[in-house]
């Protein structure tokens, strides 16, 4: 499969459709994104939205968030998703390596990500790329909207 990764800088109906197809594969609780939500995401200064594309379709996505904090520039990889039909073909690796390149060039001190334990293939990929599990507790507060 011939796949290339690109940075998305503006919203489009193609992206609305792609995220509509991909997000349910990431999370059963994911809410659909309309054009305005895609526009907010891709135009946010902190975000770099990457997509993996074949000649036919967007087959994966990743959001890199760069956070200037008192402790230095930090980066987070969020919402990595690859279409079920394209899994096992290196798409997540391409997306993640590109995100790491961008974070490194921006001067990020660290890059964090989280991954559920049941995503064994994803966790193996992250370890191969040099990520190490941390001894930490992640807290989450769900805020209903």
Domain architecture of the chain: domains with CATH: 4-128 (3.40.630.30)
Which helix or strand (DSSP H or E) is residue 125 part of?
helix 120-128
Whether 145 shows a pLDDT value over 70: the answer reads no
Instruction: Check residue 29 and give its pLDDT.
Output: 87
Q: How many separate helices (H) and strands (E) can be counted in the chain?
A: 4, 5
Instruction: Check residue 39 and give its pLDDT.
Output: 97
- Digit-coded pLDDT (tens) for 45-87: 999 999 999 999 999 999 999 999 999 999 999 999 999 999 9
Q: Distance between CA atoms of 41 and 54, rounded to whole angstroms?
A: 22
CB atoms within 10 A of CB 105: 8
The crossing angle, in degrees rounded to 10, of helices 35-43 and 13-26 is 90
DSSP 119: -
Whether 142 shows a pLDDT value over 90: the answer reads no
């Amino acid at each position: 499969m011939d796949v290339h990764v690109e940075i998305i800088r503006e919203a489009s109906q193609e992206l609305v459709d792609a995220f509509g197809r991909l997000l349910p594969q990431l999370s059963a609780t994911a809410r659909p994104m309309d054009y305005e939500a895609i526009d907010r995401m891709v135009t946010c200064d902190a975000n770099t939205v990457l997509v993996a594309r074949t000649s036919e379709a967007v087959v994966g996505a990743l959001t890199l968030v760069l956070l200037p904090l008192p402790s230095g520039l930090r980066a987070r990889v969020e919402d990595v998703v690859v279409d079920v039909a394209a899994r096992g073909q290196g798409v997540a690796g391409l997306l993640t390596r590109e995100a790491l390149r961008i974070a490194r060039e921006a001067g990020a001190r660290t890059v964090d990500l989280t991954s559920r334990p049941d995503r064994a293939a994803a966790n193996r990929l992250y370890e191969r790329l040099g990520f190490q599990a941390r001894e930490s507790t992640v807290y989450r507060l769900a805020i209903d909207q």
